[in-house]
A and B are shown apart, each in its own frame.
Chain A
Amino acid sequence: MFRCLLQRTPRFSGIWGQRQASTFIPQTPAANQDGKFWKITQTRSTIGLHPRTRENARVLGFKRRGHVVYRPITNELAGIILKLKEIIKVELVDQAVPIKKRAADGFEVIGRMNPLIAPGSKAAKPLLALRNRNPE
């Protein structure tokens, strides 16, 4: 868990600090002035390619062939995309697609009842709000 937290922060230390700061990709991409993003799909795998090319694919956020990634429109990322132009497909889109929504349950829970707990007793805790599975 601690390692996860480290990976989410930009690495500003060392001689490579400036390079990594300019290509740091936040979790939610910011739109450019026209409100556009790049939707980039990795169409070919990086097997057999130069290690620098594989590193470029990793920096863009690609994990495997077929992986789709939404990125802000910046000059730095354009250079990386041009290094990978043979193995990717790029489109201009209006929004970064939100996380998939879970299908609605066929029922709605209006409360929970345990007849063994006497009302007013120590065990009769207030009903907690049910976890919202589709955060807006």
Chain B
Amino acid sequence: MFGSVLGAFTPSFAALGGKAWRIPWRLSKTRKANVRKRLREVDDVIDVLSASGIECKQLVLAQALPKEHEMDTRDKYTTFSRTAKNHRKGVHKVPHFTKRPIPRTTPTGF
């Protein structure tokens, strides 16, 4: 969106408050609400499969995952990062994070 209007090397519009290229370090309230909504939708998919009466190893692993209301708050909106400070970064910095599987738990020790 901004690449075509502003170009790769031109400064951002003063009218936009100079914020055209800024990526906030944390998610806003609406974005967080949408993250929770998407987690609940995935929980619903796993629930339907559980009610279908099938046997599947991946289903057993999926049922062992915490549900959205059981998840740690920081696991919902941030993910483990090997390179970032404190080994944590905002989940919105993961490309296509809205439709990619994001781990629901942190690796042990982090």
B59 touches A78 (CB 8 A): yes
Contacts of A87 in B (CB 8 A): 99
Report the minimum CB–CB distance from B95 to chain A (whole Å).
7
Q: A85: which of B53, B62, B98 is its contact (CB, 8 Å)?
A: B62
The answer, among B45, B55, B101, for a CB contact under 8 Å with A90, is B45
Tally the A-B contacts, defined by beta carbons under 8 Å.
65
Q: Is B15 an interface residue (CB 8 A)?
A: no
Mark out the residues of chain B between 20 and 64 whose CB falls within 8 Å of any chain A CB in the assembled complex. Answer: 38, 41-42, 44-46, 48-49, 51-56, 58-59, 62
Per a CB cutoff under 8 Å, which of B44, B54, B101 touches A78?
Answer: B54
A44 CB within 8 Å of chain B: yes
Question: Do residues B45 and A88 form an inter-chain contact, with CB atoms below 8 A?
Answer: yes
Closest B residue to A39 by beta carbon equals B48
* A92: B residues at CB distance < 8 A: 48, 51-52
Evaluate whether A90 and B48 lie within 8 angstroms (CB atoms) in the complex, with A44-B98, A49-B96, A85-B101 already known: yes
| Most chain A beta carbons < 10 A, residue from B46, B99, B100 | B99
Q: Is B51 in contact with A48, judged by CB distance below 8 angstroms?
A: no
Q: A36 to nearest B CB, angstroms?
A: 7
List of 5 A-B pairs having minimum Cβ-Cβ separation, nearest first:
A48-B96, A44-B99, A78-B56, A85-B45, A90-B48
**Apart from the given pairs A75-B54, A75-B56, A90-B44, 18 other A-B contacts in the complex at a CB distance below 8 Å:** A32-B52, A43-B41, A48-B95, A49-B99, A73-B52, A75-B55, A78-B54, A81-B45, A82-B58, A85-B46, A86-B38, A86-B42, A89-B41, A89-B45, A91-B48, A92-B48, A92-B51, A92-B52
